């Protein structure tokens, strides 16, 4: 069974440019998460989807970040415009449903460098 | 609010030695506790989790952890380290009965030497 797929794996852009990350969760997983992991830190939740609905986006910087999950499967996270402080690894995870006991499966992440 | 403190950002052990990675949590309600491992350039993989029931939890790759409510701890151990255990380890906490919202610690990098 394929795991969580993310692309691209690496992205280097200049500040003020837009950037987008794509995530394909494990088949059948209804809940999808986007995390940001700064260097030397643990992941921090940005947004959580249950099917197509964003049910927790309290940590998403809405002035520059946006996300969507069309048809409740793939998801895209966008930053526009990017700032130097956005350099981080962006992780996507999925779980079967939203119960806390359900294991979250993580993708390999996209490492973003903003110059 | 929940929080996790991992003592020691770097731990070095010899191959075959005991591995002990420390995690203390803060939670106003009974927590669920998790340990994840992250190998270089890979995503996080669940090692083990405590939700309810037995306080000694066994995970993959020979790791185990014990939930100690009186000490608010959930330390990760492995009797004998292997070179392949070298990785970053994250402890995480979530609130019982809520939707999945994990709060991660800052991680401990485990180095295994010959």
Provide the pLDDT for residue A71: 85
pLDDT single digits (tens) A9-23 = 999 999 999 999 999
CB A101 within 8 A of CB B51: yes
Helices (H), A1-115: none
pLDDT single digits (tens) B45-104 = 999 999 888 899 999 999 999 999 999 999 999 999 999 999 999 999 987 655 467 899
* Residues in B touching A43 (Cβ below 8 Å): 44, 90, 102, 104
Mark the ranges of chain A whose per-residue pLDDT is less than 50: none
Name which of A30, A33, A55 is nearest A46 in CA terms: A33
Q: How far is B28 from chain A (nearest CA, A)?
A: 16
Interface check A95 vs B, CB under 8 A: yes
Provide the pLDDT for residue B94: 86
Interface check A38 vs B, CB under 8 A: no
Query: CA A114: distance to chain centroid?
Result: 17
Q: State whether A42 and B98 contact (CB < 8 Å).
A: no
Q: State whether B92 and A42 contact (CB < 8 Å).
A: yes
């Amino acid at each position: 069974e394929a795991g969580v797929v993310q692309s691209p794996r690496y992205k280097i852009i200049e500040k003020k440019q837009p950037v987008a990350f794509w995530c394909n969760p494990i088949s059948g997983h209804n809940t999808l998460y986007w995390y940001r992991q700064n260097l030397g830190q643990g992941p921090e939740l940005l947004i959580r989807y249950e099917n197509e609905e964003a049910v927790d986006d309290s940590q998403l910087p809405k002035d520059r970040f946006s996300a969507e999950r069309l048809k409740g499967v793939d998801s895209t996270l966008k930053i526009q415009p990017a700032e130097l402080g956005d350099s981080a690894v962006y992780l996507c995870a999925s779980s079967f449903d939203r119960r806390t006991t359900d294991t979250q499966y993580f993708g390999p992440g996209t490492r973003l460098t903003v110059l | 609010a929940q929080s996790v403190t991992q003592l020691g950002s770097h731990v070095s052990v010899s191959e075959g030695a005991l591995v002990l990675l420390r995690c203390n949590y803060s939670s106003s309600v009974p927590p669920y506790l998790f340990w994840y491992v992250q190998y270089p350039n890979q995503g996080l993989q669940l090692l083990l989790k405590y939700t309810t029931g037995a306080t000694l939890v066994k995970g993959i790759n020979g790791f185990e952890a014990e939930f100690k409510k009186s000490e608010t701890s959930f330390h990760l151990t492995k009797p004998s380290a292997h070179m392949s255990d070298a990785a970053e380890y994250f402890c995480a906490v979530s609130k019982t009965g809520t939707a999945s919202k994990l709060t991660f610690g800052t991680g401990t990098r485990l180095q295994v030497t010959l």
